[in-house]
Structures are given as structure tokens and as C-alpha cells.
Amino acid sequence: MENKWNFQGNGELKLVPAPRIRGVLSMIMQNLNKDDQRTTIPLGIGDPSAFPCFRTSISAEDAIVESVRSGKFNCYSPSIGILPARRAIADYLSNDLPYKLSPDDVYVTSGCTHAIEMVLTAISRSSPVANILLPRPGFTFYDTRAAYSNLEVRRYDLLPEKGWEVDLEALEALADEYTVAMVIINPGNPCGSVYTSQHLKKIAETARKLGILVIADEVYNHLTFGSTPFVPMGTFGSIVPVLTLGSISKRWIVPGWRLGWIAICDPNAILQNSGIIKSITGCLEVSSDAPTFIQAAIPQIIEHTKEDFFLKIVEMLRGAAVICFDKLNEIPCITCPSKPEGSMFVMAKLNLSLLDEISDDVEFSLKLAKEESVIVLPGMAVGLKNWLRITFACDHSSLEDGLGRIKGFCERHAKKK
């Protein structure tokens, strides 16, 4: 009988260039050896919520319970988010800014991922195709999402020998009249870098010269533990308009709560009549909203979470970053160019000439999973081949165990003299 079904799906989606980090990690995880009695050490994905020591604050949990129990938030939310949430987020971000954001500058999203989707869709333009400048190494969701939104991607390099700062000269050379925005991720994923105020100002001045927006992914805001304090890009919003993206996923360690935001940091109101804000609200209208009861809990989550909670998390990450950096640099075939000062990640470079029968970062990660039950992310998944991205957001003993296994693996595979 003739087949009349026509379920082909959108073929173009299969052509999307950059795989999402999760896709690469699940490929690596399929290589785990089920007969290994040792526990698997997950140094691939940045979600420490599985570790009891990274449990979120009690006040955040209480806020959610109260919100649900009130029975007042079982309703739909407006597409831009409910006012108390927008106000609380505006106040929270304003604490670190030289001007005050109004609730009207804030749009609530389902996590930072949704914020990225909305902003990239809002700035895309099809004829002529707009382009966007993304960091390399970076967070590949931007690349993938840009491909879905008909945005051309151009990659600028981060410089490992300069603490992963932006190569601003190269960035300038990439831009043309169709460039609409550049993305920075600070504190950095995957590099663990934290930019100084001076560097952020230079970024702002460069973007101004090019006439482009800065999209500042600050999902790791305040997760810093080195000598450089966190400074929001919005500080320089009077030099260049900044769209700040964030969420509670990382600082509160609740990525499953799906609560994020877009904040328009533009004290000179350059964007007011640009169409961009209209596009963002338009995109939000045809998209799903963050759960109302989570939004309603936001004012309490922000206000009631004690400084102790943040200090404990930052101390744990500080200790973990030191262990990670020191242990990795003891391994001859691995080099970390700079000690992580923020976020939950470090980039480590492989010297493959010291290893036998390992041709690249993917093979390294696959064999490491199989032989040692340790998961790391091959650098190709963040745009840097033959590097690894390692997360140190796990309890210190698992981390030491995992790094010890990586060392054993490298010794076993070392080229014989």
C-alpha cells in the first residue's frame, strides 16, 4: 500500500552546526563501563544540585512553599512576567549599578536559556542576514540558537594568555554594517574568567564604536572567588546599551526552577525607539511563560536568602577551584593557563604528543569515561578542539577522586620514552 504519511519534520534543524553540550555529554556517557564498581564522577555538566553540599537555601525553599500554599498563583502570568517579580529583579540588579532599573526594564523568562532564545530571535533579521559576534570558546547554545533564528555567527577569540579576555582588535575586524550585537559571558563559562572593570569598559567602548549592542550573559553573577570582583556590564550602559541576561539557576543552584530574566540596561534610552524592545515583548508573547508561583516567590527568594548561604557556596567553589587547578597542572599532558576566578569551570589544554593512541579531545573523553568512569566535556563542544572543559562544582572528595583518576589515566596512556 502506498505510504501517505508525511512526517518529515523540519529538515533544516538537523543541519544545525553546533551540538548542544548535553548532546555531547550523553554521547560520552554512553561509553561508561557498567562493570566499573566505582561511582561515576560527573565533571562535565555544571549542575551541582545533585550534591547535598550544594543544596539551595532554606529561605528559597520556604518562599516556594508559601507561594504554592497561598493559592494565589495558580493563574497564568502576563507574558512579560508578574510585576512583583520584575520589581524584585530590577532592585536586585540595581544594587550593583550606578543607576536604577525600573520594573519596566525587566522581562521574566523561563531561565537564562529562554532569555537567550528571546533575545537572539528578537535581534535576527533575514534580509540582509544580521550577524552576531560570539566568544570562542563559548556556550554553544548561542550558536545553535542563532542558527535556528537565521542569525549569522562570527566568532571572536578569548585569549588564554590574558586571562581569557576578549581579543578586541580581532573583534573589531569581524564586524560589518550587518553586525547587531556581541555576546560576553562574565563570569565566564567555559573559562572561569572574571573580567575587570577596565576590560568591561573597553568592551563597551569597542561596541559603541561599532554601533552594536552588548548582550551580557551574567548567569554566574556573584559566583566569584578570585581577586577580581564581579562588575555587571550594565555599569557601562551609558556608553553602550546592554541587554543583561541572568537567572537564579546558578547562584541559588536551582536550574530546575526555570526562572530567569532579560534586563535592559540602557540609561540613555537608546533602545527606546529602536524596535528591539518591541521585538523582545513580541517574542515573549508567542512563547511560554515562567511558572507563576515561582515568579511570585522571587521577591522572598532574593530578600530572604542570607549572606551565609552565598558565602558557603563561594567558599566551596574557591576551594574546589584550587584543588582542580593544582591537580590538573600536576599532570604532564595537561595545562591550565589560568586559575579560575569565577563560575564553575576551567579550561585545560591537552598535549596530545605526550599521549599514545589518543588522537583528540573527544577520544580522550570517551576513553576516560570507559576506563575511569569520569565524565569531562571535550573542548570541541565549546569551540576549542583538543582542550577539555572541567567543572569543579562538586564536593571536594569526589573532585579529588575524579582528578586522581584523570592523572592515572594520563600516566597509563603516556607515550613511552
Candidates 255, 340, 379, 383; binder of ligand PLP (CB under 6 A) is 255
Q: How far is the CB of 204 from ligand PLP (least distance, A)?
A: 20
Nearer to ligand PLP, 218 or 361 (CB): 218
Interface with ligand PLP in residues 32-61 (CB under 6 A): 46
- Please tell me whether residue 107 adopts helix, strand or coil conformation: strand
Q: Does 381 sit near ligand PLP (CB under 6 A)? A: no
Strands (E), 248-386: 260-265, 334-335, 345-350, 374-375, 377-378
**C-beta of 117 vs 372, nearer to ligand PLP:** 117
The answer to whether 139 contacts ligand PLP (rule: CB under 6 A) is yes
Instruction: Between 219 and 277, name the residue whose CB sits nearer to ligand PLP.
Output: 219
Q: Count of residues binding ligand PLP (CB under 6 A)?
A: 13
Nearer residue to ligand PLP within complex by CB, 112 or 374: 112
Cβ 113 to ligand PLP shortest distance, Å: 3
Least Cβ distance, residue 408 to ligand PLP (angstroms):
29
Distances (CA, A) of 412 to 33, 36, 406, 407: 18, 17, 10, 9
Between 341 and 372, name the residue whose CB sits nearer to ligand PLP.
Answer: 341
Stretches 7-15, 108-116, 122-130, 229-237: which one binds ligand PLP (CB under 6 A)? 108-116
CB of 188 to ligand PLP, least distance (A): 8
Type of residue at 362: V
- Which amino acid is located at 155 in the chain? R
**In the complex, what is the shortest distance from the CB of residue 216 to ligand PLP, in angstroms, rounded to a whole number?**
11
Is residue 295 within the footprint of ligand PLP (CB under 6 A)? no
Contact 325, 340 (CB under 8 A): yes
Does 118 contact ligand PLP by CB under 6 A? no
Pairing of strands 377-378, 387-391: antiparallel
In the bound state, the residue with its beta carbon closest to ligand PLP is: 111
Q: Write the burial class of residue 413 (CB in 10 Å: 0-12 exposed, 13-18 middle, 19+ buried).
A: middle
Piece of the chain touching ligand PLP by CB under 6 A; list 105-113, 196-204, 266-274, 299-307: 105-113
CA distance 130 to 273: 19
Positive/negative CA dihedral, 393, 397, 398, 402: positive
Which of residues 112, 130, 204, 403 is near ligand PLP by CB under 6 A? 112
Residue 216, phi then psi, degrees to nearest 5: -105, 110
Q: Please identify, using beta-carbon distances, which residue of 160 and 260 lies nearer to ligand PLP.
A: 260
Nearer to ligand PLP, 206 or 249 (CB): 249
The sign of the dihedral angle between the CA atoms of 178, 235, 95, 255 is positive
- 579576555: which residue's cell? 165
Question: How far is 90 from 83, CA to CA, in rounded Å?
Answer: 10
CB of 22 to ligand PLP, least distance (A): 11
- List the one residue from 237, 260, 378, 402 that touches ligand PLP (CB under 6 A): 260
The only residue of 57, 67, 94, 113 in contact with ligand PLP, by rule CB under 6 A? 113
Between CA 122 and CA 211 the distance in angstroms is 17
Q: What DSSP character marks residue 271?
A: S
**What one-letter code names the amino acid at 81?**
G
Question: Whole-number minimum distance, CB 139 to ligand PLP, in Å?
Answer: 4
> What's the angle, vertex CA 29, arms to CA 27 and CA 32, rounded to 5?
125
What does the per-residue mask of binding to ligand PLP show for 221-250, with x meaning CB under 6 A? --------------------------x-x-
CA-wise closest residue to 398 among 330, 332, 316: 316
User: Could you tell me the sign of the dihedral formed by the alpha carbons of 389, 381, 162, 145, in that order?
Assistant: negative
Q: Which three cell numbers stand for residue 207?
A: 561596541
Instruction: Count the alpha carbons within 13 Å of 164 in the hemisphere toward its beta carbon.
Output: 28
Site string for ligand PLP, 159-198 (x = CB under 6 A): --------------------------x---x---------
Using rule CB under 6 A, residue 219 touches ligand PLP: yes
Q: For residue 347, what is its C-alpha cell?
A: 579550561
Binding residues vs ligand PLP (CB under 6 A)? 46, 111-113, 139, 185, 189, 217, 219, 247, 249, 255, 260
